[in-house]
Amino acid sequence: MKKTALITGISGQDGAYLANFLLKKNYRVIGTDRRSARDDKWRLKYFNIENKIIFEDMDLNEITQIQRIFSSYRIDEVYNFAAQSFVKSSFSNPLTTADTTAIGCLRILEVIRNLKKRPKFYQASSSEMFGEVLEIPQTEKTAFNPQSPYAISKLFSHFITKNYREAYNIYTSSGICFNHESPLRGEEFVTRKITSCLSKIQSGEISHFELGNINAKRDWGFAGDYVEGMWKALQVKKPDDFVFSTGRNHSIKNFIDEARKYLNFETKWHGSGLSTQLRRKNNNQIILKINKKFFRPTEVNLLIGKNSKAKKVLKWSPKTNFKELVKMMMLEDLKKHSR
């Protein structure tokens, strides 16, 4: 018998990578998303799997839609990826962020609690919950100190997932994922913004771009590696929380330095602080400036995770390092924007 997995947020980066991974493992994959006029499934087309998935409309803010899906299919595993996932937007949309990212998770758990045959449940928790970090590196035991409506919403869903495990004996696990990127990452996130904008500058589509705080450090891994860990988190006997990270971090500036190596022209840094600029070496043209508008009201300055529990219990470790990740993203974007 084929196993059936339900992925919420199928149109996002992780939805595409996990769907591709599960289809290779011979799962039946149901992908849910809220209805959208811009439904072009570009990430699923990247893997050529858009015809292999059963699509259902399921807005996490509508409990009746969630009930309908769970009563229509016999589901073995649920991966809850749907969320308002962009930290910056959570400051301008705190209520919708909380409704989807926090309460949306609880709505699914409530539906599952009332089922006779309960599926296993994976929650996409986030390293943003560590916020202004209280320990370096961060582990499953590190205290949380969230710094945004997004992180606070994720903290609610993280703890309610643990509570439903302990209170109702439902198989629920959380992956505390550090930032994971890929050529399918949304262009609003800093890594993809950098690779996409640099590629557009090389092709002449734009002359320059702007960023906020380039000194923040992130523990960046590859999404393709991380979805394997998420699946493994639901295959072990005992549900639990697991950190998925690489154990290394780099600043945004380091990411730019690695990315600019792939351009066909040379660049040079000028100035410091808010006056930092990246310019073309040959004609001094500015290609990157700092703009205060991209700073956040409260920032997460440093994240670095320790993945020894996932290594030991799940036999998981990331395969792709920082340089390989930047190269993969730059080469894909340069190809996309080549003339």
The amino acid at residue 125 is S
* 126 near ligand NDP (CB under 6 A): yes
Least distance to ligand GDP from the beta carbon of 57, Å?
A: 27
Which of 85, 126, 173, 174 is catalytic? The answer is 126
- Binding residue count for ligand NDP, defined by CB under 6 A: 24
Which one of ligand GDP, ligand NDP, none interacts with residue 252, CB within 5 to 8 A by kind?
ligand GDP
Q: Choosing among ligand NDP, ligand GDP, none, which partner's interface includes residue 259 (Cβ < 5 to 8 Å by kind)?
A: none
**87, 170, 177, 201: residue in contact with ligand NDP (rule CB under 6 A):** 177
Region 7-36 residues binding ligand NDP, contact defined as CB under 6 A:
9, 11-15, 33-34, 36
- 296 contact, one of ligand NDP, ligand GDP, none, CB 5-8 Å limit per kind: ligand GDP
Partner whose footprint covers residue 180, from ligand NDP, ligand GDP, none (CB < 5 to 8 Å by kind): ligand NDP
| Shortest reach from residue 115's CB to ligand GDP, in Å | 32
Q: How far is 184 from 88, CA to CA, in rounded Å?
A: 19
Q: Which of residues 46-105 bind ligand NDP (CB under 6 A)?
A: 59-61, 81-85, 100
Residues that bind ligand GDP (CB under 6 A): 87-88, 128, 179, 188-190, 193, 211-214, 216, 218, 252, 294, 296, 299-300
Q: Which does 98 bind (CB under 5 to 8 A by kind): ligand GDP, ligand NDP, none?
A: none
Active site residue 128: yes
305 binds ligand NDP (CB under 6 A): no
Catalytic residues: 126, 128, 150
Residues at the contact surface with ligand NDP, assessed by CB under 6 A: 9, 11-15, 33-34, 36, 59-61, 81-85, 100, 124, 126, 177, 179-180, 186
